Structure 1
Amino acid sequence: MENIPSKIKTICEYIFSLPLGVPHIVSGIALISFFGQKGIGKFLLDNFNIDFVYTVSGIALAQFFVNLPYSIKTFNQSYEMINKKLLFSARTLGLNEPQVFFHVLMPMLKTQIFSMWMINISRALGEFGAVMMLVGVTRMKTETLATSIFLNMSTGDFDVACGVSIILIMVSMITMFIFQRLMKKETKKC
């Protein structure tokens, strides 16, 4: 990361931070423009039979896209806290860059990466705007917990919508509890 020129790093930061500054419904429109039949989506569908529009794989893509900036920022902040002398020492002991990455850096960041993964899963479960725009809301096909709340509220099934909301709240509470425990444990190590 430190070897990337600052202008390229700045441009990448702006591009990857873009989903933070726009409503998720706009992110969904961007995804449908890019992965739809007029964008790269036609090439992917024609050559590899990969389709993201109105499919379950589109749900994963939309959730990944809106959570990517959080992952990158968390990873960068964790990376900045690493003692770079340890990485340099590993190189002087004969490890090449992939070995330094997988055998030194990743073990040092495993708690932060796991925490980042948990928070992103929790956030992804609640994603609505980008998912709704890219895959639509079809019951039992492209229905997620968040879109289920929308569907049930729009059809007057308030009790079901409340039940699904409680499930989302419980998942978020459990995720945050585990995250807080991991961070306390990691702080005690330092």
Structure 2
Amino acid sequence: MARRGRHNPFIWTLVGISLAGLVLLTLPTVALLVRAFDARDVLSDVQARATLREALVLSLTTSLVSLALIVLAGIPIAYVLARGQFPGVRILDALVDLPIILPPAVAGIALLAAFGRRGLLGDSFDRFGVNIAFSTTAVIIAQVFVSAPFFIRTARAGFSRIDHSIEEAAADLGASPARVFWRITLPLSRASLIAGAVLAWARALGEFGATIMFAGNREGVTQTMPLAIYERFGAGDLETAVVLSAILLGTSVVFLVVVRLLGEPAIQRPA
């Protein structure tokens, strides 16, 4: 059987397509790292280091705050979507996906229409001297808006896969609904929650379009790493843009590895 597979044109076609796909997916990253290594001397510039430090700190801070908000609000929403039997649950389910399909520029304009100084809610905030648009808060709101669907969708799938009989058995033994949720439902869906959190954080860290439209590109205030890369590229400073891109890539990889290492024991632990 193995010998037959070695000479099967279909198998070799699949192997060839797979290799071509892997090259396409990995080549840009390798090229970026090589180019960044050659341009590493740009970090000796004081201004470049200051830009990197401010943008990186702002990106990490806002993306982690956004992730916390997404998890806190996303778990109840995902649970309701997975278990809800009320009219309109399908409409609510579709609305959750809306930020995914919106073009980034449209998402930014929509946020301005809602929270801008003359927006639907922004006008009320403005009366109390609170201006959300073009602030660090706007960066967080933009990140939450575009990233939350990734967590909610993944968490919803995790809740839907849980065997209801396990929860019912716990309830029959006298466990309250809250205790069942905390001790049974959440642990059984832990893998999906971790996967959704990783996706949401990665999306928040790389958010660009809605942020630049809604929060602007103010250095030290709203200029995250993607916006700093865009600014350097627009100014013709490709070397700094490449180095910043490589650092952002490395930060993302480190975070993903840490989450995987911390999450795998919890995922593999028997319920």
Fold match (TM-score > 0.5):
yes
Query: What is the letter of the counterpart of residue 98 of structure 1?
Result: A
Equivalents in 2 of 1:43, 1:154: separation in Å?
Answer: 36
Aligned ranges for residues 70-149 of structure 1 at < 5 Å? 70-149=150-229
For 1:153 and 1:84, how far apart are their aligned partners in 2? Answer: 53
Q: Is the 8 A contact 1:71 1:120 kept in 2?
A: yes
Displacement of 1:178 in angstroms is: 5.0
Matched, 1:9 2:99: no
| Shift in alpha-carbon separation, 1:65–1:57, aligned structure 2, 3 A | same
The residue aligned with 1:41 is 122
Which residue, out of 137, 143, 146, partners 1:63?
A: 143
What displacement does 1:175 show? 4.1
When Rg is computed on C-alpha atoms for both structures, the one with the higher figure is 2
Overall identity of the aligned pairs, in %: 24
1:3: Cα distance to partner?
Answer: 3.5
Shift, 1:159, TM fit: 1.7
> TM-score, with normalisation over the residues of structure 1?
0.86
Kept after mapping to 2: 8 A contact 1:51/1:57: no
Write the distance in 1 (CA, Å) between the matches of 2:182 and 2:193.
Answer: 13
TM-aligned CA deviation for residue 75 of structure 1: 0.5
Deviations 1:35-59 (A, max 9, x none): 1123112223435x65420110111
Query: Residue type of the partner of 1:10?
Result: R
Equivalent-residue separation in structure 2 for 1:51 and 1:116 (angstroms): 31
Distance between the aligned counterparts of 2:226 and 2:106, measured in 1? 17
1:154 and 2:234 equivalent?
Answer: yes
Distance 1:119 1:179 in 2: 11
**Conservation of the 8 A alpha-carbon contact between 2:157 and 2:192:** no
Shift of 1:69: 1.2
Task: Give the gaps of 5 or more residues in structure 2.
Answer: 1-79
C-alpha contact (below 8 Å) 2:109/2:213 kept by paired residues: yes
8 Å contact 1:122–1:175 — kept in the other structure? no
Whichever residue aligns with residue 58 of structure 1, its letter is A
CA contact (8 A) 1:122 1:171 kept: no
Task: Give the 3 Å change call, closer, same or farther, for CA 184–102 of structure 1 in structure 2.
Answer: closer
Q: Which moved more, 1:170-179 or 1:37-46?
A: 170-179
Q: CA deviation at 1:20?
A: 1.4
* Structure 1 residue corresponding to 2:102, chosen from 19, 22, 36: 22
Structure 2 counterpart of 1:54, which letter? F
Query: Do 2:150 and 2:199's aligned partners in 1 also have CA atoms closer than 8 Å?
Result: no
Q: How many matched pairs?
A: 188
**Matching residue of 2:9:** none
Work out the CA distance in 1 between the residues paired with 2:99 and 2:138: 16
Greater displacement, 137-146 / 34-43? 34-43
* Higher RCO, Cα 8 Å, sep 6+: 2
Take 2:199 and 2:250, find their aligned partners in 1: how far apart are those partners? 13
How many angstroms does 1:112 deviate by?
A: 2.7
- Distance change (3 Å), C-alpha of 1:114 and 1:39: same
